[in-house]
Amino acid sequence: MAASVTIHYLGPPDQKAVVKVGPMATLRGVLADAAAKWRPPLDLATVQLHLNKKPVDLDTPFRLLNAPSGSRLEVVAGAPAPAAAAAAAPAAAPPAETRAAASAAPPPAAASAAPPPAALAPGGATAAAPSTSSAPAAAAPAAAAPPAAPSPALVALGIRVPIAVFNQRAVEAAAAARGAAAATVAADPGDAFFEFTADDFAEVARAAQKRAAAQSVLMTRTAREAQARARAASHPPVPVRLHFPDGSIVQAEFAATQPVGAIAELARALVQPGLAPALYLYTAPPKQVLRDAAATLFDLRLLPAAHVHVGAEGGRAPADDSGWLRPQVAALMADEVPEALADRAAAAAGAAAGGGGAAAERERERVLAEARRRAAGPAAGAAAGADGEKKLPKWLKR
């Protein structure tokens, strides 16, 4: 059943439009339908769509936005991209003479900024495909400033990547705060909103045809491996959270093409010297020890982010109560998850709810099969049952 949504363009000129939306219709299509009713027409590349004052991803299906029928979405014109806004916010306004000189000179080429990588859903397994979220919906978080480079003291220990240190209590507090905020965003829509319509079937069928076309292309093993390497090289940095037995958590970013050995090397540099030789890495649940140090994050599907646990052979533990981390690392312990990391964790949680990964792929296949069964009608279903089911022998029927 379609829902009604009010699209409010803040102008100038101020305009509104009420649009009928199917559950699987993307926000980009909703915005295009509303923009077609306005004069002058809008350029969708120069506007942003906001829900509750937060930008949302235009490629998100409306069903995943968790917005009830009758919601209002605001269109903001001329809004800069999140990465550009974050880069421009801390910059102070230059003097008038500098502005005049800059206006006369040709503008320099803007450095392209990679979008912030999706992060981990706290306390869970590897998060799914990156994308969006502010609630169970998909809302793009504001880009965070790049992490500071490690101090010389950390570099001397062999820690050459930026790290963030916190504990499990901070993760749980951030998750509770995010859940409380999401509960106030909007009420759950009615059951009628989730009815599977003809538009939904067409959307799912197109997606299935696209996947089938992509899988029907025959490639040699060399070509498949080259394609996989290209995908890995183009993947954004992967946030990895190292969980230590004492509840300490260290987060760092790695390239998708880096081997697990690089994570193990960082873990050995973080812990007390006496524990380093006995360390091993594993993911859970279920527990799977990462024994192949040459395997990359892309090979192990630790994307777009991962939780990796640290253990010690033989149950080895610190000799005193100083904890697993070196004093130089433990001194960086924060009482709460940094805001940038919390936003990325929320983004990964929304991406997981939005349909990334194998579970979502199986759900889409199930919905498609159900839609085909409904479209076939009861007569076809009965015929399929008569022909498809295995007939019982006569002696068994007695």
The CATH number of residue 46's host domain is 3.10.20.90
**Same domain? 121 vs 251:** yes
**Same domain? 169 vs 29:** no
3-state secondary structure at position 274 = coil
| 382 inside domain | no
Query: How many C-beta atoms surround the C-beta of residue 117 within 10 A?
Result: 19
**Same domain? 125 vs 73:** no
Q: How far apart are CA 28 and CA 31, in angstroms?
A: 5
pTM, to two decimals: 0.48
**Same domain? 167 vs 305:** yes
| Residue 180 token pair | 């409380």
CA 207 to chain centre: 20
Q: Give the torsion through C-alpha atoms of 290, 296, 298, 303, to 10 deg.
A: 50
| Residue 153 token pair | 């003291």
| 25 inside domain | yes
| 136 inside domain | yes
**Same domain? 128 vs 248:** yes
Domain that holds residue 43: 3-81
Query: What are the C-alpha distances in Å from 293 to residues 101, 246, 290?
Result: 54, 24, 7
> How many domains does the chain divide into?
2
**Same domain? 39 vs 124:** no
Name the nearest CA neighbour of 117 among 227, 293, 242, 252. 252
Secondary structure E strands in 211-336: 238-243, 248-254, 279-283, 288-289, 306-312
133 contacts: CB under 8 Å, gap ≥ 6: 139, 141, 346, 347, 348, 349, 350, 351, 353, 354
Q: How far apart are CA 393 and CA 329, in angstroms?
A: 72
Name the nearest CA neighbour of 305 among 341, 354, 267. 341
Q: Which residue has the tokens 């899988």?
A: 215
3-state secondary structure at position 266 = helix
**Same domain? 26 vs 166:** no
Note whether 3 and 187 are within 8 A (CB). no
Name the nearest CA neighbour of 283 among 157, 129, 120, 116. 120
Angle, to 10 degrees, between the axis of helix 198-215 and the axis of helix 357-388?
A: 100
| 189 inside domain | no
Name the nearest CA neighbour of 27 among 65, 79, 78. 65
* Preceding amide of 13 cis, omega within 30: yes
**Same domain? 36 vs 124:** no
| 190 inside domain | no
**Same domain? 50 vs 133:** no
DSSP string, 80-121: PPHHHHHHHTTPPPPPHHHHHHHHHSPPPPPPP-PPPPP-PP
Tens digit of pLDDT at every position of the chain (398 positions): 577 888 888 777 778 888 888 777 888 888 888 887 777 777 777 788 888 878 888 888 877 777 777 788 888 876 544 443 444 344 444 444 444 444 444 444 434 344 444 444 444 444 443 433 333 333 333 334 445 678 888 888 889 899 999 988 888 887 777 766 655 555 566 677 777 788 888 888 888 888 887 777 788 889 888 888 898 999 899 999 999 999 999 999 999 999 999 999 999 999 998 899 999 999 998 899 999 999 999 999 998 889 999 999 988 888 777 789 999 999 999 888 877 666 665 555 454 444 444 555 555 566 666 666 665 555 444 444 445 455 667 777 65
Of 32, 55, 81, which one is at a domain's C-terminal end?
81
**Same domain? 57 vs 154:** no
**Same domain? 161 vs 278:** yes
| 392 inside domain | no
| Residue 193 token pair | 């909103």
Note whether 138 and 64 are within 8 A (CB). yes
**Same domain? 75 vs 123:** no
| 110 inside domain | no
| 87 inside domain | no
| pLDDT for the residue numbered 285 | 85
